[in-house]
Structure 1
Amino acid sequence: MQIMCLNGWGGTLYSDLLPYLSQAVPDVLCLQEVVHTPESDKDWLTYRDGDHILPQRANFFRDVCAALPEHVAVFCPAAQGVLWDEEQSISSQWGLATFVHRSFPIVGQVQGFVHKGYAAESYGDHPRSRSAHGIRVYDYATDRAVSITHMHGLRDLNGKKDTPERFEQAKRLLNISQAVSEPGDLRVVCGDFNVEPGSETIRLLEDDGLVELVNHYGVETTRNSHYKKPGKFADYMLIDRVEEIIDFQVLQKPEVSDHCPLVLTLKTDAQKDQLCKDSVQVLLA
C-alpha cells in the first residue's frame, strides 16, 4: 500500500499536479487545501483577502477526481466563502479531501474539526476553521486494516510556534485518529500541520506511540522552490510501526505544489516473506 500526503495549494500548479497523480496513482491520497465550487463551471477564480490575492482552481476537487477515476473520493469542507470571477462573487467551499483506490474498501471513517467548526457564511478571521478526516481501510495484501487520518493545521499569522489553539488542535486530531482506529490496526497520521518539527503537536502524537517520519529519516525540508518565506517545514507523517515501512520519501521533484509530496510505501505479505527468507539466508551463511 502506498499513501501520499500533499497540500495541493488550491490547484495552483494543477497542470503539473494532475499528470503526476495520474502517473503515480497512490493507493490513498490525503490532499489538503482543496477548492470545490459546484456553482461554477469556471476553471479559475480569484481569492481575495485584503492585499493577499491568489488564483484558485475553481473545481480542484473535480479535477483530482478525474485524474484518479478508480478512486473513491471524499471531500471534507472547512468553510464556504467567496471567490471572484472579476467582479462577480461566487460561493466556494474549501477544505481537504481523501482519495482511496477502489481495491481498498473503506470500512470506517470519521470527519470532524480540529479548530473551530464549519464556517457556513465566510472563510472567517484567521486562524480559520480547519477540518480532519480519518479513514479505516482493509488491505487484502496484508490481511489487516490500516487507519489513516490527516488534517490541515491552522494558519497563525504570527508563525508556526506552539500556541494553546494548536495544542487543542493536536488533541482533536489524536481523538479522530483514535476514534477511527481499532485494536491491531496499523495507524498513520499525516498532513500539513503548520508547525515546527519540535512542536507540542508532534510530541503529543509521539506520546501516543507514533513515530514522526520526517525527523526520523532526517529530511531537510518539506517545501520546495515555490515557497519563498522562511521556514522549511509544514508537512508530517507518523506511523505506529516503522518496521512495516518499505520506503518513505519527501519528493523535491517534480514540483506540483509549494509543498513536497510525502510518500509512504508499506510492506506487503510477499515482501515480508522475502525479507524473512533473506534474513534466514544471512544467518545460515
Structure 2
Amino acid sequence: MEIMCLNGWGGTLHAALLPYLAEAAPDILCLQEVIHSPSSAQDWLTYRDGDHILLQRANLFRDVASALPEHVAVFCPAAQGELWDGDVSIPSQWGLATFVHRSLPIIGQAQGFVHKDYSAVGFGAHPRSRSAHGVRVWDHEAGRAVSVTHMHGLRDLAGKMDTPERKAQAQRLLELSRQVAAPDDLTVICGDFNVEPDSETLAILAGSGMTDLVTARGFESTRTSHYGKPGRFADYMLIDREDAVARFEVIRDPEVSDHCPLSLRV
C-alpha cells in the first residue's frame, strides 16, 4: 500500500501536478491546500490577501478527483471566502482532501478541526481555521487495518515557532488519530505541519510513540525550488511501527508544488 502526502499549493503547478498524480495513483492521497468553487466554471481564480496575490485552480478538488477516477474522494473544508474572477468575487471553499482507492474498504473515518471551527463568512484573520481528516481502511493484501490522519497546520505570520495554538493543534490532531484508529492498527499521521523539526508539535507526536520518517531518515528539506523563504521543512509523515516501512521517499522530481510529495509504502 502506498500513502502519499502533499500540499497541492492551490494547484499553482496544475499542468505538472495532475499528470503526476494520475500516474502515481497512490492508494491513499492526503492533499492539503485544496480549492473547491462549485459555483464557478472558470479554471483559475485569484486569491488576494493584502500584497499576497496568487492564482488558484478554481476547482482543484474536482480536478484531482477526475485524475483519480478509481478513488473515493472526500473534501474537508476549513473556510469559505472570496476568490476573484477579475473584479467579480467568487465564493470558494478552502481545505484539504483525502482520496482512497476503491479496493480499500473505508471502515472508519473522522473529520474535525484542530484550530478554531468552520469559517463560513470569509477565510478569517491569521492564524486561520484548520481542519483534519482521518480514515481507517482494511488492507486485504496485508490482512490488517491501517489508519491515516492528516492536517494542514497553522500558518503564523510571525514564523514557525512554537505557540500555545500549535501545541493545542498537535494535541487535537493526536486525539483525532486516536478516534479513528483501533489499538492494533498500523497508524500514520502526516501533513504540512508548518513547523520546524525541533518543534513541540513533533515532540508531542513522538511522545505518543510515533516516529517521523522525514527527520529520522536524514532528509534535509521538504520544499522545492519554488519556495524561496528560509526554513526548508514543513511536511512530515509519522508512523507507529517503523518496521512496517517498505519504502519512504521525499520526492524531489518532478516538482508539482512548492512542497515535495512524501511517499510511504507499507
- Flag structure 1 segments of 5+ consecutive residues without an equivalent: 267-285
Give the distance between the partners of 1:7 and 1:67, measured in 2 at CA: 17
Runs of 4+ residues deviating >6 angstroms? none
For residue 254 of structure 1, what is the amino acid of its counterpart? Answer: P
Q: Do structure 1's residue 83 and structure 2's residue 46 form an aligned pair?
A: no
How high is the sequence identity, in percent, across the aligned residues?
A: 69
**Equivalent in the alignment of 2:183:** 183
Q: Give the whole-Å Cα distance in 2 for the aligned partners of 1:254 and 1:109.
A: 31
1:111-122 correspondence to structure 2 within 5 Å:
111-122=111-122
Which SS does the other structure have where 1:172 is aligned? helix
Aligned partners of 1:41 and 1:68: how far apart in 2? 20
2:23 match: secondary structure: helix
Q: Which residue of 2 aligns with 1:26?
A: 26
Whole-Å Cα distance in 1 between the matches of residues 82 and 93 of structure 2? 8
Q: 1:78-105 CA distances to partner (integer Å, 9 max, x unpaired)?
A: 0000000000001000000000000001
What is the CA distance between 1:9 and its match in structure 2? 0.1
Query: Paired residues, what number?
Result: 266
Q: Which one has the bigger helix percentage?
A: 1
Tell me which residue corresponds to 1:257: 257
Match of residue 43 from structure 2: 43
Secondary structure, aligned partner of 1:263: strand
Q: Which runs of 5+ in 2 are unaligned?
A: none
C-alpha offsets along residues 147-188 of structure 1, whole Å, 9 cap, x if unaligned?
000000010000000000000000000000000000110000
2:70 alignment partner in structure 1: 70
Distance 2:73 2:33 in 1: 15
Q: What is the rounded CA distance, in whole Å, between the counterparts of 2:252 and 2:213 in structure 1?
A: 16
* Distance in structure 1 (CA, Å) of the matches to 2:2 and 2:197: 24
Return the alpha-carbon distance in structure 1 between the equivalents of residues 132 and 143 of structure 2. Answer: 26
Q: CA deviation at 1:227?
A: 0.2
Rounded to whole Å, the distance in 2 between the matches of 1:265 and 1:218 is 18
Structure 1: how far apart are the matches of 2:181 and 2:222?
27
- Mapped partners of 1:49, 1:21: distance in 2: 29
Measured after TM superposition, the shift of residue 205 of structure 1 is: 0.5
Partner of 2:235: 235
The DSSP-based 3-state class of the residue aligned with 1:126 is coil
Deviations 1:207-254 (A, max 9, x none): 111101111100010001000111100000000001001100001110
Report the AA paired with residue 16 of structure 2: D
TM-score by length of 2: 1.00
**What amino acid maps onto 2:194 in structure 1?**
N
CA distance in 1, matches of 2:22, 2:149: 23
Aligned to 2:195: 195
TM-score w.r.t. length of structure 1: 0.93
